[in-house]
A and B are shown apart, each in its own frame.
Chain A
Amino acid sequence: MTAKETIAAISTAHGKSAIGVIRVSGKNVLKITKDFIGSELKPRFATNVKIRDKSNTLIDDVIVIYYKGPSSYTGEDMLEIQSHGNPITMDFILEQICDVYARLSKPGEFTERAFLNNKIDLVQAEAIADLINASHISASKAAMITLQGNFSKNIKLLIEEVLTLRANIEACINFPEDDSPENSNKNNFNAINSLIAKLSKLIKSVDNGIVVNKTPIITIIGKPNVGKSSLANLLLGEQGSIVSSTPGTTRDALHHEVALAKNNITIIDTAGLRKTSDSIELQGIEITKKSINTASLVLYVVDDALGFDTEDRALITENKINNYWVVNNKIDLTGADPTMIKISNVSHFNISTTQNLGIDNLKKKLSENSVPDDETTGTARLRHREHLKSCLENLYMALDCNNNLQLELVAEELRLAHVSLVAIMGGDVNEDLLDKIFSDFCIGK
């Protein structure tokens, strides 16, 4: 297949919103404007168009914008149709287009085309992929920051700085007889140190970015039969794990992703923790212990009639659980007040899963808690971090060689550092260096 098919999709979130946007990209865009819209469009001008069905009934009054390739998001001819956000009208318009001229796009396909047509760089493309998979609003924000080129900008600045230093050193090595620049051990030392400081800062923010992009994990534990699975099911809104009145029924830790308010969280329902000799149940307890380690928050469920006793306290300390909330279940039987209280810094909730008491309150607090602290960092992927880390290593080595007065080895480490940065952003290690040398220094006899 050589010519790319034309693709179309609704590009605003499904559901009710004020305005819905349908995007079309590919070579059939011109045909669509001619045949379907009925008139030729001036690029980048908003035009009002009335859409009618076969029986000439007015379906919607839409705004259409035509982007002529390559000056468009994907680099191809594109059409943007802004309708009134009603899912039924939007589906209707999309169907009309896809009937004759296009096919529905796959996830990320617009971005992929933008990337392949060199409209965005690799970093931005990956950020968009992050955006599509973003697990909560904060991560989407982080992805947006990357997308707007904050991360790219930082890397570009670092590359520029490495280049300046390399140009200086390489000019001294390659043109010792020309009026090459001053190169001193001390200047190299300062320049490398400044790079190390900036890079370390960037790596730190990248680390945060990676944490941000993980869904918070909430693990539910407690003694058997206190109502853990019942709580999990309520939070999940479906029959996730088996609820049973025989102690020890939930033997595996069950993972479930769920959207709480606008944020995704993962809920793990576990087997009960208790002393037992049943080998299968012991296995379940092992898994429970593991899932405690990965949890960002533990919900410790107790039967309100029995209360939080010394065995519970022992289980908490034994398993080194430090971030937990206590959930007193079955208050329908004790008549406790369904509110939240704080006892010595630990939150206590009173709920009843069968009577749906105190659940909304718990959900609300969970959703607030699932938003990570740092909302400002750009998302970066593991790939970026690896390159940044090896770049940092090379810079430290360069510092060492500089102390030993081994300029050609400093140069080698800096070359490798440069290669790592370019692997993230793209660029040409050799040509960019020569450009810099010849624009900065008067070289050549």
Chain B
Amino acid sequence: MKKFDVIVIGGGHAGCEAAHAAARANVSVALVTMKHESIGQMSCNPAVGGIGKSHLAKEVDALDGLICKIADYSALQRRKLNASKGPAVQATRIQTCRDTYKLKMQQAIDAQKNLSVMEGMVSNIILDNEVLRGVVMSDGSKVFAKTVVLTTGTFLGGKIHIGDKSFSAGRLGDNASNALENFFKKHGFSLGRLKTGTPPRILKSSIDYSLLEEQGSDKNKPCLSYMHDHYGQTPNIISEIPCHITYTNNETHKIIKDNQALSPLYNGVIDSVGPRYCPSIEDKVERFYDKDAHQVFLEPETLSDKEIYPNGLSTCLPEDVQLSFLRTIKGLENCEITQPGYAIEYSYFDPRGLTKYLETKKIKNLFFAGQINGTTGYEEAAAQGIIAGINASCSVRNIGMWCPNRDQAYTGVMIDDLVTLGVTEPYRMFTSRAEHRLRLREDNADERLTAIGHKLGVVSSERLLFLKNKIKKIKAESKRLEEIKILPSSKVSSILEKKFNLKLKNVQTMKSLLKMSDIEYKDIQELESFGKTINSDVGHLVAIQERYEGYLKRQDQEVLNSLKTQNIKIPEQIIYNEIKGLSNEAKEKLSEVMPHTLGQASRISGVTPAIISLLRIYIKKHSS
């Protein structure tokens, strides 16, 4: 009989992190997935990171997860976004080789101790008097475990649409998981439908690049993992392949408009909601009809570089229409399609059925992570995966579960949004969702999370040491700069006046110069009294801290103030129906979400300040 502590169903981005994290925490793990060869497969564009997303990915990395390291090792292009807009909103984006990514991920999974991969399709969950016991495979065999993490992505009830063709599938080339869906329907889980789409892939040799604009890596080629950027060596880019940019035109738009009725998005076949930030080209042409051109990025997909991903052209028009509109685009006049674009509808679970530890409220020891919770994106999936994996292992080890707060991590923002608000469209991270954006930066996810991860058992001691080292260096440089004084009458002072129009009135420290918006670390490095630098990477981090110090202090105060109300615990046995004065709508919503704290309650849509003060009074009255 096969017996484990944790079973993870699904070897996608959520599943890999969940399984690997639990195994790092020293419990025995089975990763059950359809095919070993598709572990770590990127269903869509093979890029990791981007604004908001790299923030999530780096948090996974800070907990010693896989996504950043694997992306760094399989990079075709590495870029820093928003480089001119301030460190808090800067982000890293890596275009990877899809094949290398998958391969490296499989190697990492195979190499991990306590972790075994089992191929096969899970068709049922074993419940024994309401107690979770394990899973049943489609061949009828059983695997037993104390906890189960479900990460089946778009596979539950997946249905693909291309023109008037539609068929059941998890993604193109993979079977959907319909048997498993029945289990959840039977047990009263609340399921919804969402949709997403992908563009056609184009044969590279059929593209004429001669007239297209090229976009290469940045000069400094940033990495995603702290192991590579802050703690050690930067791996080389496996092979530098540039992107190209082209545009749609009025002729393209005319073909798309004329054939609108053939798109299942417009003829009523698909009525589930897709992501607004990832619209199909049909949608863009319809909604922004006054635009003469839409940007298209021609991105490499693999090292072998045979297929091109035309980013911006997601569609589910019939294949012949796809080809004819593609051929109106500059550079694509003679292009060939290797795989048509398609839309996929799939089932997801209302994430309000989860606790913030990603455990289902209905069945203890059952966890959900990834796209089945209504999110989209590899990073979103990975961040949930690592939290679910950690918590499944906590449950096995009988220690307290954990989820970061909103002021601690983007992961905390995302999970709080999901379990409190639910979703109405596929949920993607944006930095604007984080009210603590200035604190939750790419440069400090390790400072925020690594020590906690070490306590939870998922971060190695070696890794913790790297972090301590980094912090020590920052502190030392910060102290050093604070001790260098600049007198108003000094030569340095006159240079400052000449270069930055900065008139010193009294003695300043070298460090305080970094507060000025136009002075960077490299500028003060050139000053005579600067002395000997330790490492300009560290200096850059000191400068970032200095830039936001005032803001973070103010926010700390706000957090402290709001914490008093925010952190008031709502007793679990509260019965909202008994609270006088609550509207029925509020009663319903609160009973559904069952928030842990007043802070969480206040974020439920429709819960007004008046309702919160009612609740506060009620809790106060009933706690004594």
Which residues of A are in contact with B by a Cβ distance under 8 Å?
1-2, 112, 115-118, 122, 170, 172-179, 404-409, 411-412, 415, 423, 426, 428, 430-431, 433-434, 438, 442-445
Contact = CB atoms under 8 A, between A and B. Distances in A.
B51 A176 contact: yes
Contacts of B609: 122, 423
B496 interface: no
Contacts of B86: 406-409
Interface string B489-532: 00000000000000000000000000001100000000000000
Contacts of A415: 432, 435
Contact of B287 (A112, A405, A434, A442): A442
8 contacts: A115-B610, A170-B430, A170-B432, A173-B51, A178-B295, A411-B432, A415-B432, A442-B287
B360 to A, nearest CB: 25
Interface of B: 51-52, 81-82, 85-86, 88-89, 275-279, 284, 287-288, 291, 294-295, 297, 311-312, 430-433, 435, 437-438, 517-518, 551, 577-578, 580-583, 585, 605-606, 608-610
Contacts of B438: 408-409, 412
Contacts of B581: 112, 116
Nearest to A116: B583
B418 to A, nearest CB: 13
Contacts of B85: 172-173, 176, 407-408
Given A408-B438, A428-B605, A442-B287, A117 B276 contact: no
B81 to A, nearest CB: 5
Contact of B81 (A112, A170, A177): A177
Contacts of B610: 115, 122
Name the residue among B294, B311, B432, B610 with the largest chain A CB count within 10 angstroms. Answer: B432
A176 B438 CA distance: 18
A444 B277 contact: yes
B51 A174 contact: yes
A122 B86 CA distance: 38
Contacts of A172: 85
Main secondary structure of the interface of B (DSSP, over half): loop
B583 A117 contact: yes
A445 B311 contact: yes
A2 B578 contact: yes
A409 B544 CA distance: 13
A433 B278 contact: no
Given A444-B284, A444-B312, 9 more contacts: A1-B580, A170-B430, A173-B89, A173-B431, A179-B294, A409-B438, A438-B276, A444-B275, A445-B297
B419 to A, nearest CB: 15
A122 B284 contact: no
A431 to B, nearest CB: 7
Contacts of B279: 442, 444
B479 to A, nearest CB: 26
Contacts of B580: 1
Given A408-B89, A431-B605, A444 B432 contact: no
Nearest to B284: A442
A122 B606 CA distance: 12
B288 A404 contact: no
Contacts of B81: 176-177
Contacts of A118: 583, 585, 606
A404 B437 contact: no
B437 A442 contact: no
The 3 closest A-B pairs by CB, nearest first: A408-B86, A404-B517, A445-B312
A442 B276 CA distance: 10
Chain B CB count within 10 A is highest, among A172, A412, A433, for A412
B201 to A, nearest CB: 15
A179 B247 CA distance: 11
Nearest to B51: A174
Contact of B82 (A116, A176, A445): A176
Contacts of B577: 2
A61 to B, nearest CB: 38
Given A173-B431, A409-B86, A444 B585 contact: no
Contacts of B605: 428, 431
Contacts of A443: 276-277
Nearest to B421: A431
A399 to B, nearest CB: 14
Nearest to B297: A445
A425 to B, nearest CB: 10
Contacts of A117: 583
Nearest to A383: B609
Contacts of B297: 177, 445
A173 B91 CA distance: 10
Given A407-B86, A433-B432, A442-B284, A412 B277 contact: no
Contacts of B431: 173-174
B582 A442 contact: no
A172 B85 CA distance: 10
Nearest to A172: B85
Given A2-B578, A173-B82, A405 B284 contact: no
Nearest to A419: B435
B295 A179 contact: yes
A277 to B, nearest CB: 51
B621 to A, nearest CB: 15
Nearest to A112: B581
A406 B517 CA distance: 7
Given A122-B608, A122-B609, A412 B517 contact: no
Contacts of A177: 81, 297
A442 B51 contact: no
A70 to B, nearest CB: 10
